[in-house]
Amino acid sequence: MAKVTYYTKEGFKKLKDELEHLMNVQRPLISNQIAEARDKGDLSENAEYDAAKDAQGMLEMKIAKLQELISNARILDESKMDESKVLLLSTVRLKNHKTGKEMAYTIVPENEADLKLNKVSVNSPIAKGLLGKKVGERAKISAPAGIIELEILEITR
């Protein structure tokens, strides 16, 4: 059975855009490379042809994988989510009690995580420690540097 994967609307759109690019831009490009290499003569000794055929095989595998991902994808409906506690797609403003620093993270599906954009995977230790908590509660999160105590200051969508 195929694995269901959850996406935000923008994550799903990104996936569909990538598939469209592979099918409508990359696929014709590789077909042209194969045709050009075929025109150069004997295929048994044509490294260019072999390389283009290998690239085509890799591209087709990638397209098939993306098509499977898309067919098993589910888009999360943010409008039906409870804002009183930390859930997937919550943006959480936190305070580290040891350092006094404040930070904000958005908890996203694993395949959309990007620390540069403060998007942490739902499977990360921080997200796991925060899930289900409400404003004012504290989470003790185990990190390589030791236990980090974070207070939830605000939850938004």
Same domain, 112 and 148: yes
Same domain, 39 and 90: no
What is the domain range of residue 84?
Answer: 78-156
10-59 per-position pLDDT tens digit: 889 999 999 999 999 999 999 998 888 888 776 667 788 888 889 999 99
Same domain, 82 and 151: yes
Same domain, 31 and 97: no
pTM of the model: 0.65
Same domain, 71 and 83: no
Same domain, 98 and 54: no
pLDDT average, residue stretch 52-68:
93
Same domain, 89 and 71: no
pLDDT > 70: what percent of the chain? 94
3-state secondary structure the chain: CCCCEEECHHHHHHHHHHHHHHHHHHHHHHHHHHHHHHCCCCHHHCHHHHHHHHHHHHHHHHHHHHHHHHHCEEECCHHHCCCCECCCCCEEEEEECCCCCEEEEEEECHHHCEHHHCEEECCCHHHHHHCCCECCCEEEEEECCEEEEEEEEEEEC
